[in-house]
Every structure is written in C-alpha cells, then in structure tokens.
C-alpha cells in the first residue's frame, strides 16, 4: 500500500514538472535573440522585490499570483515569453496563459538563474 502512495506522489510531482503542452521552451542564449523582436511580449512572473533587484530590460513584471487577473494587459495576438528565477513559476505561468486562450507562449528554461 505504501508503495502505491509513493508512486502516486512521484507521478504527481513529475507531472507538475513536465513541460506544458503547446508551450515552447527556450534557453537564455536563445532569449537574447528573441529580445530584438518588437512583436513579442516579455513577462517576468517573479515578485516585485525580485524584479527590482535584477531584471532584463524589456520585461514587464506581473507576479505569478496576479497573472490570472492581469492577463488582459497582454495581447493574445502576440507571442508571450515568460521568465522567473528558475523556470518553475514561469512554467506555471505558461499553463495559466494557455488556459486563458493565449496561443503562443514560450517559457525560458533556467530563468534568471541561467541569465548572464
């Protein structure tokens, strides 16, 4: 019985870490090229304090816990590129945006931790 619980917990955790269907994943090296594209929207889902401490020029700060309410500030007609500190919150943010009807969503793998 306890093996079943362990397996279920492992599956639950594993499923949460899998990339979201329909979301493109890019590296921070690829992001550097994307930043030149004025037809894309760049969103940093870290907290206001994290964003103030260090951020990439061109990114708009919409903390993850506010994204559902503030998604209407973004255009569904343009690609949204999402970043956080490590890639976990931006993966969650990508799921939120997909559920709200955004077609082109890109997650930055490794987040700000991988940015140099």
What is the rounded CA–CA span in Å between residue 116 and residue 104? 25
Q: What is the pLDDT of residue 13?
A: 61
Identify the three-state secondary structure at position 69: helix
pLDDT digits (tens, 9 = 90+) for 29-82: 999 999 999 999 999 999 999 999 999 999 999 999 999 999 999 999 999 999
Instruction: Render pLDDT for 87-109 as a digit per residue (tens, 0 to 9).
Output: 999 999 999 999 999 999 999 99
List strand residue ranges (DSSP E) for the chain, in order. Answer: 23-26, 40-44, 60-61, 79-83, 105-108
Res 12: pLDDT: 62
pLDDT at 28 over 60: yes
pLDDT at 9: 72
Which residue among 45, 67, 80, 84 is the active-site one?
A: 84
The domain segmentation of the chain, as residue ranges, is 21-114
Residue 14, pLDDT > 70, answer: no
**What's the sign of the alpha-carbon dihedral 58, 63, 67, 73?**
negative
Rounded-to-integer distance, Cα 31 and Cα 33, Å = 5
84 is catalytic: yes
Instruction: Check residue 104 and give its pLDDT.
Output: 96
Q: Residue 19: what pLDDT?
A: 54
Contact predicate 115/33, CB 8 Å: no
* CATH-assigned architecture of domain 21-114: 3-Layer(aba) Sandwich (3.40)
């Amino acid at each position: 019985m306890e093996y079943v619980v362990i397996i279920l917990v492992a599956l639950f955790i594993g499923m949460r870490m899998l990339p979201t269907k329909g979301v493109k994943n890019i590296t921070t090296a690829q992001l550097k090229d994307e930043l030149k594209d004025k037809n894309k929207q760049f969103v940093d889902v870290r907290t206001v304090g994290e964003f103030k401490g260090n951020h990439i020029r061109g990114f708009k700060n919409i903390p993850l816990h506010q994204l559902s309410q503030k998604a209407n500030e973004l255009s569904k007609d343009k690609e949204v590129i999402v970043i956080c500190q490590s890639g976990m919150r931006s993966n969650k943010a990508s799921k939120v945006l997909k559920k709200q009807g955004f077609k082109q969503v890109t997650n930055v793998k490794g987040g700000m931790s991988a940015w140099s």
